[in-house]
Structure 1
């Protein structure tokens, strides 16, 4: 590239940069939001373009024009009026405003759902602990009743009104045994799952795979 070509490009870069800055300001859009809409990870490219230090390629300038709802000719300095079609411009501004509002409401919805899920999971875990404690108490109560029967053989005959008590304790014992068994199986499954994806097991599997590959390669 000759010096003359570079000198010709410099004013154009400054013009485009100035127009980009004006268009973004009129659109009321922060640089970081503009960068995000354009697919950049940060506002560096937007800042460099607005300073005239880096001229965006044509396809990016087109995206700038769509984003700020201005004609491409305005960004390139060919016309001075940023509003060629008032209706189209108003629609673009409204579309950007609606998009921002939807995004804000969506983020609020996600936060709300996350908070509700966190509370629900915490409550679920507490319910599981309470269930386990209740089952343990029921089993202990049934064991205590059996001890009373053992020490007092005449318990069932001499103590009136104990039939319903015994029946309910038997029911609690059955429920407690079922819950305890289910919790035991769930814990076992969780332990096996964690063990199956542990880093040590993954490393062993990787080593075995490498050995197999090396054997095949040497054959």
Structure 2
């Protein structure tokens, strides 16, 4: 013989009626759940602000000016679009504008409403955030590499400056020696020394020119060393 139906077993009644009877019997009537803490007016103002900001973001993603975007959306001028983006008008944003903006900017309606940060239509949620994180890491890596390269170039610039200055001093010293020793040019070693100095001066000029192309010109350039 079957046991009698207990208080918590569902009798011959609908599930909702049974659940209501159990709850009423144990604790009395339950208050209606509060789904939204703020008033509709407050939510309306916040939604207008969110949509305006997302419309601006979507327009900037497309690299469109406000005037060009306004024309594509159907406005005669950019003043109304400016009010919507700036949330200066507390009235509701026209539904037709949201639909057109989703098509013109090629973003999802969820993005315009602030439901998701993913702007691409049909993209799995989190895709854009992942891409932005990857891009940020690559950017940080590239910036670090550029900073390292910049320091290396500055070091080369300093060494080249020292080389140019040294060539200039050698040229000046040789010129002074020639003035004090008129017979030096007639010695066998004079031609060899002069030829090597000319090649050194040419190398210094080339290095100085290359640095100037990098906007790292050396003070007291190699042109002086050639004199």
TM-score (norm 2): 0.39
TM-score (norm 1): 0.40
| Structure number with bigger Rg | 2
